[in-house]
């Protein structure tokens, strides 16, 4: 359990770190295009000002893990990040991730049993699973889809064009403080969002 918590904590830290680097993308002729990312907080649509995407990789327990982080910054510095991860044993495409549904409500006690959409591999000292995380940063506070009592958070990657580095998908989640006291309902989509590979 300690290693599962450590992996989860490191993933949350990596998400916050990746969110600090925001890259803007323009079309080839630098025209302002239709927003590629839309989301709502408690049913209220948010105006997206900047979007970014980055695919990171890291070796843990002799396996390569890949994590795609998609970030949108809205008015009043409301920042939403959606992240999904795959492992080399799942055979994701080079410079991309697998399409499909990702559970973003990991239970720290028993990841496989509480993660019906997860593909896991037990290795010595840990269990490696794919999955997702939705994070809302609002008024200097962070709210995550993995919190005490979380029951519903799903990220669906509908398309990942690894050659063009474009990704599309949808997400819905209840995010909260780690103790679950303060919660928000998040829903949204992204379409042909460009991502960098690092």
Q: Domain residue spans in the chain? A: 2-197
pLDDT of res. 46: 95
pLDDT of res. 23: 34
Per-residue tens of pLDDT for the chain, all 198 residues = 444 433 443 444 434 333 433 333 334 444 444 548 999 999 999 999 999 999 999 999 999 999 999 999 999 889 999 999 999 999 999 999 999 999 888 654 544 455 556 788 888 988 888 999 999 999 889 999 987 777 789 999 999 999 999 999 999 999 998 887 889 999 999 999 999 999
pLDDT of res. 25: 36
Burial-class residue 43 by CB neighbours within 10 Å (0-12, 13-18, 19+): exposed
Which residue intervals of 49-139 are DSSP H helices? 111-114
Q: CB under 8 Å to 6, separation ≥6 — which residues?
A: none
Query: Whole-angstrom Cα distance, residue 19 to residue 17?
Result: 5
C-alpha gyration radius of the chain: 16
pTM > 0.85: yes or no: no
């Amino acid at each position: 359990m300690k290693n599962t918590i450590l992996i989860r904590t490191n993933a949350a830290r990596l998400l916050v770190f990746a969110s600090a680097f925001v890259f803007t993308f323009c079309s080839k002729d630098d025209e302002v295009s239709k927003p590629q990312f839309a989301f709502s907080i408690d049913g209220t649509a948010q105006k997206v000002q900047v979007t970014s995407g980055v695919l990171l990789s890291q070796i843990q327990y002799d396996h390569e893990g890949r994590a795609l982080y998609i970030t949108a910054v809205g008015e009043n510095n409301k920042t939403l990040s959606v992240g999904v991860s795959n492992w080399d044993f799942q055979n994701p495409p080079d410079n991309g991730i697998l399409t499909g549904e990702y559970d973003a409500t990991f239970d720290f006690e028993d990841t496989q049993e509480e993660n019906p959409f997860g593909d896991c591999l037990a290795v010595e000292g840990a269990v490696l699973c794919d999955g997702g995380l939705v994070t809302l940063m609002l008024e200097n506070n962070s709210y995550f889809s993995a919190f005490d009592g979380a029951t519903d958070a799903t990220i669906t990657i509908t398309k990942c064009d690894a050659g063009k580095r474009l990704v599309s998908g949808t997400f819905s989640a209840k995010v909260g403080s780690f103790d679950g006291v303060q919660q928000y309902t998040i829903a949204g989509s992204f379409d042909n969002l460009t991502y960098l590979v690092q």
